[in-house]
Amino acid sequence: MPRAGLTRDGVVETAAVMADEVGLNSLTLAALAERLGVKQPSLYKHLDSLAGLHRSVSLLAKRELGEAISRAAVGRSGSDAIFAMSHAYRNWAILHPGRYDVTQIPAAPGDVEDENTMMSAVQVIADVLTAYRLDGDDSVDAIRAFRSLLHGFVSLETTGGFALKADIDRSFERLIHGFTVALDHWTDPVEHGGA
């Protein structure tokens, strides 16, 4: 008998919590059913498959991360918005490691809902970058740089990649400060060195 009040959203949210605990790839329908106190076949009233569950958790995670950085940016501009979004991104990723991992998975070809969900988060970044008068390829380059520096830092931090004794928070502040300084010169001509 299905648990009273069990909904699709509740199933997905519970799966997201479990993904944070064990990783999405280790999440099974049997474990999810046990956590929810139902028999596994009862899950199929709310899900079509394990792959469908993974997609739903991914959409939830991308939406949550986008909302976190959007809330952080509200009422701010320029470097203040960049710092606020950076802290929101880092904090959310640390609190939700399983969900964070799936935010980095691109949408399947033709999955318009997933593409739109991810683009909503990217648009928040693009909107903040307008304070730096960036558009076109300059804006795309800055968005890529921002996402790369945040993802790289968070990935190293959450996997124990910062073994040196220096203060990690200070390193993060300096990284973001360096990015905001770079943004002030983003459209300066770039000279390429090397071979």
With a cut of 80, say whether residue 4 has pLDDT above it. no
pLDDT at 190: 80
Assign 195 a pLDDT band (cuts: 50, 70, 90). low
CA distance 93 to 103: 10
What is the amino acid identity at position 134?
A: L
For residues 93 and 147, the answer to whether their CB atoms sit within 8 Å is no
Q: For domain 1-47, which CATH number applies: 2.40.160.20, 1.10.10.60, 3.10.129.10, 3.40.50.1460?
A: 1.10.10.60
CA nearest 33: which of 54, 18, 22?
Answer: 18
Q: Boundaries of CATH 1.10.357.10 in the chain?
A: 61-184
CA nearest 186: which of 99, 66, 107, 78?
Answer: 78
Can you tell me the mean pLDDT for 93-106?
94
Q: Boundaries of CATH 1.10.10.60 in the chain?
A: 1-47
Q: Which helix H or strand E contains 125, and what residues bound it?
A: helix 112-129
Assign 16 a pLDDT band (cuts: 50, 70, 90). very high
CA distance 68 to 46: 27
pLDDT tens sequence across 138-176: 999 999 999 999 999 999 999 999 989 899 999 999 999
pLDDT at 191: 80
CA dist 111 → 33, 52, 101, 117, 144 (Å)? 27, 12, 19, 10, 22
pLDDT at 1: 42
Alpha helices in the chain (DSSP H): 8-22, 29-36, 40-43, 50-73, 78-95, 97-103, 112-129, 136-158, 168-184
- Percent residues over pLDDT 70 in the chain: 96
pLDDT at 32: 95
* Contacts (Cβ under 8 Å, ≥6 apart) of 167: none
pTM for the whole thing? Answer: 0.90
CA distance 50 to 144: 31
CA distance 139 to 145: 10
Angle between helices 136-158 and 78-95 (to 10 degrees): 40
With a cut of 70, say whether residue 71 has pLDDT above it. yes
Q: Considering the domain 61-184, what is its CATH architecture? A: Orthogonal Bundle (1.10)
With a cut of 90, say whether residue 33 has pLDDT above it. yes
CA nearest 14: which of 53, 64, 48, 52?
Answer: 53
Assign 2 a pLDDT band (cuts: 50, 70, 90). very low
